Amino acid sequence: MGDPDRVDIVASYFDTREYEVRNREFHTITGTYQGKRITALSTGIGCDNIDIVLTELDALSNIDFSTRQIKKKHKSLEIVRVGTCGGLQESTPVGTFIASAKSIGLDGLLNFYADRDQVCNLTLEHEFLAHMAWEEPLCIPYAIDADQTLLDRISRKEMVKGITVCCGGFYGPQGRQLRLSLADPKQNAKVQSFSYDGLQVTNYEMESSAIAGMARLLGHKAVTCCLVIAGRRSGEANTSYKNSINTLIELVLDRI
């Protein structure tokens, strides 16, 4: 999750706790839930932090720190983001649970890694670029599919499956305007009208694409599940969403 305080909420469901550490926005508690060893971990906001978290989770799992060599046997992790987001469709009002079947990253993170084309959904990328009439100097978006097995197991019937657009900021990159003018005032309308393979763009958030992309590059499984707390079309917002996020946490814990 992004919020360090939400780690305590997740860990409150644990049967046992074995480890806790906190530094800046990174808060980690490892314990057991119904016999499963689980780590609750916060990332803070943004894909740049995901670059740190996913790289170091993989290092802990797949690098021998005594020799500084990559281990011969690869360990694959299951990673589920539980977060909040802004809904973009009338069918995703406040209170909706959304599972990101596909994520489009506007932040450009994966473009810094070799082999990004081997894990990305290139057809989705090209169709999105054409639909948006993408122009320089914007960085090229990348598109990633969630791990299908994990997606199906976690989402089931309680979550809407859709395309998540992952933004590199909270204001301009999400079409919000205060004092600064937007480079593309029609961005949100174009995003909302885009569809691919029977899926609409259901929501904006800020971490899903990096989690899915880094996980695929590193050989892990990942999916993002979010609670809609703001309806971008209706202007409705729910600032008291604790009970709803707790329900989402419980669903995910039971299905991991």
- Contact present, 157 and 97 (Cβ < 8 Å): no
Cα separation, 57 vs 77, in Å, equals 9
256 residues of the chain, pLDDT tens digit each: 999 999 999 999 999 999 999 999 999 999 999 999 999 999 999 999 999 999 999 999 999 999 999 999 999 999 999 999 999 999 999 999 999 999 999 999 999 999 999 999 999 999 999 999 998 888 999 999 999 999 999 999 999 999 999 999 999 999 999 999 999 999 999 999 999 999 999 999 999 999 999 999 999 999 999 999 998 888 888 877 777 899 999 999 999 9
| pLDDT given for residue 236 in this prediction | 84
User: What is the reported pLDDT for 233?
Assistant: 80
User: What pLDDT is stored for residue 240 in this prediction?
Assistant: 74
Query: How are beta strands 199-205 and 160-166 bridged, if at all?
Result: parallel
Q: 197: which DSSP letter? A: T
Of the candidates 19, 66, 81, the one whose C-alpha atom is nearest the C-alpha of residue 215 is 81
pLDDT for res 241: 73
- Token look-up 């119904």 returns 34
- Please give the full DSSP string across 114-180, using - where no structure is assigned: TTHHHHS-HHHHHHHHHHHT--TTSPPPEEEEPPHHHHHHHHTTTSEEEEEEEPSSSSGGGT--SSS
At 22 the three-state DSSP class reads strand
Q: What is the C-alpha separation between 160 and 101, in angstroms, rounded?
A: 9
Task: List the domains of the chain with CATH numbers.
Answer: 76-255 (3.40.50.1580)
**CA dist 241 to 86, 159, 227, Å?**
13, 17, 9
